[in-house]
Amino acid sequence: MDQSLILKAENIKTWFPVRGHIARDGNCVKAVDGVSLSLYRGKTYGLVGETGCGKSTLGRTLIRLLEPTEGTILLDGTDITHFSPFWLQLYRARMQMVFQDPYSSLDGRMHVGDILMETLAIQKRVPRKERMELVLQILTDVGLLPEHFYRYPHELSGGQRQRVGIARALLPEPELIVCDEPVSALDVSVRSQIIRLLLEQQRSRDLCYLFISHDMSVVRYMADRVGVMYLGHLVEEADTDELFEHPRHPYTQVLLSAVPTPDPRTHRKRIVLEGDLPSPLDPPTGCPFHTRCPRSARRCGEQMPDMRECAPGHLVACHFS
Amino acid sequence: MGENILEVRNLTTSLNTERGRLTAVQGVSFHVEKGEILGLVGESGCGKSVTSQSIMRLYDEKRTVKYSGEILLDGENLLALPERDMRRIRGSRIAMVFQDSLSSLNPVFTCGEQIMESMRIHRGFTRAEARREAVDMLRLVGIPDPEKRFSQYPHELSGGMRQRVMIACALSCRPELLIADEPTTALDVTIQAQIMELIVELNRKLNMGVILITHDLAVVAETCRRVAVMYLGQIVEEADVQSLFEHPAHPYTRGLLKSIPTVSGGRREELNIIEGTVPLLSQIPRGCRFRPRCPYAAPACAETMPELNVLPSGQKVRCFRAKELSEAR
């Protein structure tokens, strides 16, 4: 087996049952519906898609914050798909998460230092005496100062809070970090600082990132390999340059054409998409994208296309590309 | 040169807050021509929204805010008008579209009623007239099945649809000036593309002036003709889009442009970093406001504040070293 493979997920389905008077019993929101992917040491996997496509749910499922309805997740060869909370705790340190909104993901009543000390206390890996030193070290690593130890989250700026969020994720010395829109809430100048921090840490610690974002330009910059999601399905996956230069799936093409470029001379041909995302409660039959697809044919409404390799390492789920 | 619909001269807005009196906008001047889209860009806390809300005079003037300078709408100074006259202008001659459509629309009224409201107030329409016009407005902003949407509530619509309803509300009285404050920030890229296309199209069709406030330089590059860049309550650079993106004159603009990754750009070429963050309004540095973060700062920058000067290229820039830096390039 490939030495650098950290996590392998096969045919992951995460369904949420809906209760209530509108939906009949047994109805489910199929947030993630049959996704397979592999994550490698030292690499970044970018996951893109629009609101509600299931990218966050997938990220949370992969590190077992959620339990999948079907499928298998292998962490370094160990099947963690249905681990109990007790067993999971032993593996938590290896998989961490950075959230989008560092304000609501940090406890407002604790000092920054206490928030960081707490992760070490739960882990019990480091003797009590050494914890303080470790926390001060990580604060400098992420570009904060030792005096931030006694600050509350509300006293920090957005960028500083995100640094605390990253410090917390780094403390258990994980191999894999799921970054769920880590720079989306930040201003342009701060965003590039955080991106640089993430890249530096990746290099020095040989980390694997699952980088979830709706911002195509940031993903192009960060990721080695990119997966595009639509309505709970992975519709295309390829190495970053290949995907951005030769997008095969019609949805990827639409998505890329909609991204504005900071150059007033380029006038792109924009593919404008009709309508809105269908409800995941009542997804279309066949290919999930066929209701809005410019290339849709009858076959698309009947048969779900499989992921197949159209070029080396380039996977696409479409009958026609 | 076209006719100016709006001219802002030396606008200063200061607000009373818990932390004392803060000057959020300091000596801002710009103009908007008829049928033109002006981009107002900057990071959060740089005074873009305060500027736009000052134009509408939306702050509590008895307690909170003090304005100085002039805001001329078609030659008439809005800051000198009594509140009664200002009410006639708001929503009819100047209209605004906000970022968060869910909290800006009233949840207990249908979309149609909200579009009709300003038409009935400002244009004196009867219910039937207003209804007909409102359905037309919904059609104009590209909403399918406008009759049905007319009687739906905001929560029944998707984000993109709600943003269209907001635009319909704003345009219902055919304003001469539309202020769009981050109209697409909360939306997905595909929806953002739709909404921006709509704003550009309506701007041409109705020949109104538009102020597009955004932090997204890429959106500006695609839609605006002129851009003003704000930093800490001041305009630091103003230019036409072409020159601003090709040879930005102010170090802040340069830094911003180099720090955005692009979809077409190569991977992992170093992103430029502007060190530090935008300071608080209560801690405005002496001299040039960008000096503490500026890689080109000279001793003179700490002494006096640079004026907004015009370069030979026609760009206006607030920097002592702009000329020298543009020649060095």
ipTM score assigned to the predicted complex:
0.82
State percent of chain B over pLDDT 70. 97
pLDDT value for A263: 83
Strands (E), chain B: 4-17, 20-33, 37-41, 65-73, 76-77, 94-97, 177-181, 209-214, 226-231, 234-240, 309-310, 316-317
Does residue B280 belong to the interface with chain A, where contact is any CB pair within 8 Å?
no
Q: How far is CA B266 from CA A221, A241, A321, B171, in A?
A: 8, 8, 25, 41
In the structure encoding, which two tokens stand for residue A140, read together? 């400098």
Mean residue pLDDT across chain B = 90
Residue range B1-17: mean pLDDT, rounded: 89
Q: What percent of chain A has pLDDT over 70?
A: 95
pLDDT for residue A22? 55
Given a cut of 90, whether residue B188 has pLDDT beyond it is no
Is the pLDDT reported for residue B269 higher than 80?
no
Residue B211, beta-bridge partner list: B38, B179
> Which residue carries 């397979």 as its tokens?
A36
pLDDT in tens, A224-239: 999 999 999 999 999 9
Query: Given pLDDT bands bounded at 50, 70 and 90, which one contains residue B265?
Result: low
Give percent of chain B with pLDDT exceeding 90.
60
Determine whether the interchain pair B193/A265 forms a contact, defined as Cβ–Cβ distance below 8 Å: no
User: Which B residues in the span 213-242 are in contact with A, Cβ-Cβ below 8 Å?
Assistant: 215-222, 241-242
This prediction's pTM: 0.87
pLDDT digits (tens, 9 = 90+) for A155-189: 888 899 999 999 999 999 999 999 999 998 888 88
Share of chain A above pLDDT 90, in %: 66
Q: Which of A216, A220, A258 faces B267 most closely, judged by CB atoms? A: A220
Across all residues in chain A, what is the average pLDDT? 90
What is the structure's pLDDT at A90? 86
Looking at the complex, report in whole angstroms how far the Cα of residue B243 sits from the nearest Cα belonging to chain A. Answer: 9
Of the pLDDT bands very low, low, confident and very high (cuts 50, 70, 90), residue A2 is: low
Of A74-78, A155-159, B108-112, give the lowest mean pLDDT range: A155-159
Q: Work out the pLDDT band at A25, boundaries 50, 70, 90.
A: low
CB-based contact, A246 to chain B, within 8 Å: no
Domains of chain A by start residue, with CATH: 2-94+174-316 (3.40.50.300)
Q: Which region among A122-136, A165-179, A269-283 has the lowest average model confidence (pLDDT)?
A: A269-283
